[in-house]
Amino acid sequence: MTAASAPGKVILFGEHAVVSGAPALGTAIDLRARVMVEDLPGKTEINIQGLGLRLSGFSIDSDGRVVSLGSSEEAAAAARYVSAVVRTLGVSDVRITVSSEIPVASGLGSSAAIVVATLAALSRHMGIDMDIRGIAAEAHRIEKMVQMGLGSPMDTALAAYGGYVQISDGVTPVELPPLDLVIGCTSVPHDTRAEVARVQELRSRYPEIVDPIFKAIGVISRKAVPCIKRMELEELGALMNINHGLLEAIGVGTRELSELVYAARGAGMALGAKLTGAGGGGCIIALPGEGACLRTITAISQARGRAFVVRTGCDGVTVE
């Protein structure tokens, strides 16, 4: 038996602008997807557990297609990522069990964590030599393939390397201290592909307006690095607030996201709050004041968000 786990992530700064080449900064969080691989002669089976869903079973037919045994759409989506890894490595005769603490379809990197942990567990189990760099590159290729061409390398890089990662021309891990953040989830699912397309369409209509916004977002992503390094949290919070305003300007904010942002900044006394990921739904991140996590959680919960604390800068993939 071989087991591996990989973390989820949040984008701290730079979403959408990164699609047009501006830098973005993301970090691994202490919610993990775990994958266990065991020998199963004559069969290949995928089990998806947790994900806040009912227990579900899948098997793979001889062409590598996932055969669902009566389960939810979210669990079926997770099984598609696992199946893509199984096909890429040409593996059979195994049972793969996936469990995850990362909320799905929320922009928290659940699918990347599952792909990275599956690659790590399966390659180790089969004696295939793959280092972390190879896992990150292959996971990015697989995630993009399943998502039909969509996906920045941010999620898979963070699931593989952990810590903090800056994306601009390439993927650069950055050494920064951990932070406690409060995540607030709206119950509105989001569609990353649709949001990216909408923003890019806005950019093609108003390049002289949207390009300077992307440039400003890029400046924020760069300025955030020394702020985190020196733990200048008030300034970091101010950068989060400006970045949220710029994301609203390009149309990816929603009433539900803004309600959580303003609840966190108001009653929650957060130093800053912004949406994270593609927007249109999904989650916000808030930077609580010193010793005030609970206050921020309560304010977000009262605004009908699901709130929890995460620690940033966590370990990347590990094989146990």
For residues 290 and 310, give the distance between their C-alpha atoms in angstroms, rounded to a whole number: 15
For residues 274 and 237, give the distance between their C-alpha atoms in angstroms, rounded to a whole number: 9
Helices (H), the chain: 73-89, 110-126, 132-146, 154-161, 192-205, 207-229, 233-249, 255-265, 293-302
For residue 11, give the nearest of 198, 252, 283, 215 by alpha carbon. Answer: 283
Instruction: With contacts defined by CB under 6 A, name the span among 13-21, 90-98, 175-183, 289-297 that binds ligand MEV.
Output: 13-21
Instruction: With contacts defined by CB under 6 A, name the span among 10-18, 174-182, 238-246, 287-295 that binds ligand MEV.
Output: 10-18
Which member of 155, 169, 191, 315 is catalytic? 155
Q: Is 155 a catalytic residue?
A: yes
- Per-residue contact track with ligand MEV, 218 to 257, x per CB under 6 A? ----------------------------------------
Q: How far is the CB of 195 from ligand MEV (least distance, A)?
A: 6
In eight-state DSSP terms, residue 287 is: E
Q: How far is the CB of 232 from ligand MEV (least distance, A)?
A: 25
Q: How far is the CB of 279 from ligand MEV (least distance, A)?
A: 7
Q: Does residue 277 belong to the site contacting ligand MEV (CB under 6 A)? A: yes
For residues 33 and 7, give the distance between their C-alpha atoms in angstroms, rounded to a whole number: 6
DSSP of 83-139:
HHHHHHHT--SEEEEEEE-SPTTSSS-HHHHHHHHHHHHHHHHHT----HHHHHHHH
- Within residues 184-223, the interface with ligand MEV by CB under 6 A covers 192, 196
In the list 78, 104, 122, 278, the residue contacting ligand MEV (rule: CB under 6 A) is 278
Q: Does residue 12 belong to the site contacting ligand MEV (CB under 6 A)? A: no
Q: Does residue 18 belong to the site contacting ligand MEV (CB under 6 A)? A: yes
Strand partners, 286: 182, 273
Q: Does residue 15 belong to the site contacting ligand MEV (CB under 6 A)? A: yes
Q: How far is CA 48 from the centre of its chain?
A: 19
Q: How far is the CB of 152 from ligand MEV (least distance, A)?
A: 3
Q: Does residue 135 belong to the site contacting ligand MEV (CB under 6 A)? A: no
Binding site for ligand MEV (CB under 6 A): 11, 15-16, 18-19, 107, 151-152, 192, 196, 277-278
The catalytic residue positions are 155
